[in-house]
Structure 1
Amino acid sequence: MGLRQLLADRGDATVLTESVDPRFELPALAAADESAPMVFEEVAGYPDVRGVSNLVSTRDLLADALGVERDGVIGAMSAAMDQPRALDDSVSPRFDAVVTDPDLDEHIPIPVFYDEHERQYFASSIVAVEDPETGVGNLSFHRMMYDGGDELVVRMVERHLHDIYSRTDGPLEVAIVMGVHPAVELAAATSFSPEMSELEMANALLDGDLAVTEIDGIRVPADAEVVLRATITKERREEGPFVDLSRTWDRTREQPVVSVSDLYMREDPYVRIIVPGRTEHAHLMGVPQEPRIYTIVENTIPTVQSVVLTPGGCSWLHGVVQIDKRQAGDPKNAGMAALAGHPSMKKVTVVDADVDPADPQQVEWAEATRMQPDRDITTIEHAKGSSLDPSQDYETGVLTKWIVDATIPADRDPADFREVPVPEADEIDVDDYR
């Protein structure tokens, strides 16, 4: 199962046939309407390449890609993490074009997303690597700044790829993948155990329908649209600035240089475009964290119903936990567990089971009608925060976290806090009265 099959099965993509410039214009169009997948049939300067964006820009699109209901995403991802599915034997790759020592900008559109610094970036790049000690394959998202010719500079966050890189004498051989099924993207974005394969997790999400192939011993999805065979060198250069999840400029850093030796492409490939800082970026960052948070909260409050990292909170810094409250201390315990489950989170709001945690209007309504600040807000000072939060103390990296209990007070009659619906408003059809 690949990206093309997903688009064919859905059939509801917004298809743009006019030529668009990958510098500013294409990202602007993708950001202007995030309601459905968007296909760019004509990318200026690249007659044989198409672009695609907004595959998971809403929770409904994300759920549909996994073949589950909207409230079934956490369950599907948790099951895939717990029971990853072994991959079948490798199949022949679907790639049609191979370019050696490519000038990347001649063959693939590398967008300029924001105008102040005008850096060209791949924001959809997934690095595939085999751990030389364990042999386990790893997939992980890493933004790539184009630095001319066949060279990129990778922002390498200190997670599994960084660990493999630091244990490797000399350069690290990798494959960089773009244009895959959203299940593969979600698996690559998951903070997974180093002993487990993200490809096997993706295969479980796709019910065993993920085909893989090998490029120089590195397993990649056989249906990938673009694959770069590359080496992460020990050379370092300045990377950034980049607009990150917070929709603010991230600072520059000295990061490893990537040298691309071969470019593999399918015929008329779809180049995957993820606009940094927009909803799709937020979903791919935040949603894979929700199952882990849910599990940790469940160990403390077994009546937890759902967990959402909210787009308004960058799908990283703010979250909402929905519980079936049984006693007065449950919301605070749920909030503390959620903060422990996702240390980057700064604020967690706890709501009752009748409030949709993914609906910001319902969450704010619960805060407005069920919460008093002097009684229901708990602050935790001098805690370690996320590097993505521009408000933190940059010297120490600490900040204040807070828990908001927006549940019905335990000593009050719940009937006084229930929303009163307009009779038959959900059933009546206005068109019958036209």
Structure 2
Amino acid sequence: MINVLIDENFEEVTPRLLKASAIEEANRCLYCFDAPCMRACPTTINVPSFIKKIASSNLKGSAKVILEANPMGASCARVCPTEELCEGACVLQKDEKPIKIGALQRYATDWLKEQNISLFKRGAANGHKIAIIGSGPAGLSAARELCRLGYEVTIFEAEKQAGGLSQHGIVSFRLPQEVVEWEVDQVRQLGATILTGKRVGIDVTCTELLERFDRIIMAIGMGEVPHLNIEGEKLEGVLDAIDFVKTTKRKPLPMNIQGKKVVVIGAGNTAIDAATCAIRLGAAHVKILYRRTANEMTAYPFEYEFAKQEGIEFQWLTMPKKIMGNMDGKVVGIECVHMNLMDRYDQQDVLIEVENSNFIVQADVVIRAIGQRRHVDFINEMNLQHLNGVPSVDPITFQTSSPQIYACGDVIYGSGYGDATVVSAVQQGKDCAYALHDALQQTSEIA
């Protein structure tokens, strides 16, 4: 009975539009000629075009418009921050409610998925081989475009299932696994070979890849959540937020947190995901601790509102100092201090501990959600120039310091290369694929 309830809790939170509702919503669109919603989309989907096709019940045509621009259009329909992007730019935003662009995009792509229709074909073979390291949104997007251009593409994925962040790092009630698996299968049907459980550097060496393939695209994302570097992190019950979210997709669930007090440290989107997962797994109480205020949190506003609706408590200006355990080595609480956020003349805020403000937050489980590490060792193994683990790339071609290696997606996020979003990674994958293709053509490696 418990597992059944948990399964229900992880069903998709937002219901799909019914046909009548979708057509009614599509007919609200003004079909702007110079559409600001299209300009606001990182993949520049022709939003008026795909919505107009929904209004005329041409769902195949609508899905084709979407997926031509965005290979991961079904995922992005669910996880894109549409309030900040296309819907935020809608001309109806001022006087009415913006068009539900994300919901309409999901309506069209869901129809295509259920019809099991493949819209795109593999291009004529050009005799060149490309290796892609990582099968997340950037890697899959690059693979699809390269297959359409006639390349022989092999994707190396360290995990047992392909899909990267979309598969393992986004909660199921926002992005069901079946949607990610369908998008992976679309790339596989175009001829890409996807080797799962193959970690480059261990199962296959970087040297081997450089010898076997004409070019390499590094789309490895980011790694584990860094440690807090405080006492008690090795206690039983201290978890990595990414790993925690990943465990919620396994059956049977590997851990039981029903009735427990859970504390999440951090206030980004991953922290929200971990906290809402804990609620849905039956935690008695979930609290998010953040050393700054709500104004500085990196989670999207709609994620913050969702978390509050789920009953998650936020405690601001709180810094963990020590994780406390019992004689059995299990977590029982966190010693914290209050913080002050001071304004300085140079407009940079400074955090200062409040003296003698130590207090205890009771906890059975502590989840770290303070960002993700970079794959510095791997990047060094590839002999690439980098800045603090972010590979140096040409902002237009995505070529690294090695002419044979390109990089895109979250692995390059943080040095001015887009946002850490699925849709940004998808566009970078596309751009990277075409830049690679153009470079090979210019060097006459492709007739």
Q: Which has the higher contact order (CA 8 A, sep 6+)?
A: 2
Structure richer in helix, relative to its length: 2
Between structures 1 and 2, the one with greater strand share: 1
What is the TM-score with the length of structure 2 in the denominator?
0.28
Please give the TM-score of this superposition, normalised by the length of structure 1: 0.29
